[in-house]
Amino acid sequence: MLGKMSLRSQKRLLLFSFVTVPLLLLVTFAYYPAMELIRLSFTNWNGISADKAFIGWANYKEVFSNPDIFGVFRNNVAYFVVGIVQNIVAIYFAVVLNSKLKGKKFFRLLLFLPYILNGVAVAYLFGYVFDTTSGSLNYLLGQLGFDKLAETSWLGNTSIVNYSLASIGFWRFMGFNMVIYLAALQSIPNDLYEAASIDGANGWQKFFYITMPNIYKIIELNLFLTVTGALEVFDLPFVLTKGGPGGASETFVMKIIETAFQFNNYGLASAMSVVLLLFVIIVLSIQRYLLNRKGD
């Protein structure tokens, strides 16, 4: 039947039927919510009642002036710091796995493994590792003779809880970063290294003058993922510490969810979401700007 239609009308029908559904979904679940978020952020909507009053910039003032809201970004800093170390370690292991090494494939398989494991299971897995009394980390430290350190409450101490949680992120995502760096390293033509060897360059010189410039773009991509990941942390603290002790590990996204779904303050939660969205866009713009400048 379709074969009898002219190619032109076939094309029209096909374009219409193949494009409409995905476009509709995209608008409904990406663009509409983004727009609606902006609109709601200027209201005091509670999520249920039909009326929502326009209250101007009040929600935004609240976000930036209330230390209980904006202050939680302090807790996100740990994830950023650990994320940077994670990238350095990932580059190191990518270089190692890209060099002459026995069992390369196996090590890549192993280092990437944590990334594909269930996040909730990983969180509890570390709940056990970090447990103060029956935990395996403190047992290990005790065996190694660090008796004082072996009494640490890794998830109960307000000054280290975020670093403990962020180190779980390190465990989970280092291999992911490494695989991306490794793919970038493998795409650097070998002639460059050979030519440099002939010119008498040593290992460090090759790393800084050939390897680094060639994976610059990928480093930026990974850093973007690290920064946005640090801004959007949710599941680890939510599952493992519920934001405790005393709110010390609460993250900004947890605060948004709490504001909307527990306190029914949709207006304020929307303003917080918009702020987060703007931060992500700012980070991305800085990255693009740096990338373009480098390209000139």
Partner 1 sequence: MGKASRVWSFVKYLSIAIAVFVILFPPYIIVVNAFKTSEEFFAKTAIALPDSFLHIDNFIQAFKKANMPIAFGNTLFIVGVTLLLNILIGSAFCYAVGRFQFKFKGMLVGLFLFATIIPQITTQVVNYKTIQMLGLTNNLMGPVLLYVGADILQIYIFLQFIRNIPYELDESAMLEGASLFRVFRSIIFPLLGPATATIVILKTISIYNDMFVPYLYLPRPEHVVVSTSLMRFFSINSGDWQMISSAILIIMIPTAILYLFLQKYIFAGVTSGAVK
281 sits near partner 1 (criterion: CB under 8 A)? yes
Identified binder of partner 1 from the candidate list 78, 91, 179, 248, rule CB under 8 A = 179
Mask 131-170, x = binds partner 1 (CB under 8 A)? x--xxx--xx------------------------------
Residue 224 per-residue DSSP state: H
- Of the pair 109, 212, the CB lying nearest partner 1 is at 109
User: Minimum Å distance from CB 5 to partner 1?
Assistant: 7
Helices assigned H by DSSP within 99-189: 104-116, 119-130, 136-143, 161-186
- Of the pair 158, 228, the CB lying nearest partner 1 is at 228
Q: How far is CA 21 from CA 12, 16, 35, 292, in A?
A: 15, 9, 20, 35
Amino acid at residue number 41: S
- Of the pair 106, 159, the CB lying nearest partner 1 is at 106
Site for partner 1 in 244-273 (CB under 8 A): 253, 256-257, 260-261, 266, 269-270, 273
Maximal CA-CA distance, the chain: 83
Identified binder of partner 1 from the candidate list 64, 124, 207, 289, rule CB under 8 A = 124
29 sits near partner 1 (criterion: CB under 8 A)? yes
User: Minimum Å distance from CB 243 to partner 1?
Assistant: 15
Identified binder of partner 1 from the candidate list 77, 109, 149, 286, rule CB under 8 A = 109
**Measured torsion, CA atoms of residues 233, 137, 172, 241, in degrees rounded to the nearest 10:** -20
Q: How many Å apart are CA 17 and CA 28, to the nearest integer?
A: 17
Residue 263 per-residue DSSP state: S
- Of the pair 159, 206, the CB lying nearest partner 1 is at 206
Rg (CA), the chain: 25
- Of the pair 152, 270, the CB lying nearest partner 1 is at 270
- Of the pair 1, 159, the CB lying nearest partner 1 is at 1
- Of the pair 21, 159, the CB lying nearest partner 1 is at 21
- Give the contacts of 279 (CB within 8 A, at least 6 positions apart): 231
Q: How many Å apart are CA 275 and CA 282, to the nearest integer?
A: 10
Q: Which two tokens stand for residue 93?
A: 């292991």
Identified binder of partner 1 from the candidate list 218, 227, 230, 248, rule CB under 8 A = 218
282 sits near partner 1 (criterion: CB under 8 A)? no
Q: How many Å apart are CA 56 and CA 97, to the nearest integer?
A: 55
Identified binder of partner 1 from the candidate list 70, 80, 216, 234, rule CB under 8 A = 234
Task: Decide: helix, strand or coil at residue 163.
Answer: helix
User: Minimum Å distance from CB 218 to partner 1?
Assistant: 7
- Of the pair 161, 240, the CB lying nearest partner 1 is at 240
Give the range of 67-75, 76-84, 152-160, 177-185 binding partner 1 by CB under 8 A. 177-185
User: Minimum Å distance from CB 156 to partner 1?
Assistant: 14
Q: How far is CA 56 from CA 139, 198, 199, in A?
A: 55, 67, 66
- Give the contacts of 28 (CB within 8 A, at least 6 positions apart): none
Site for partner 1 in 49-108 (CB under 8 A): 92-93, 96, 99, 101, 107-108
CB atoms within 10 A of CB 166: 26
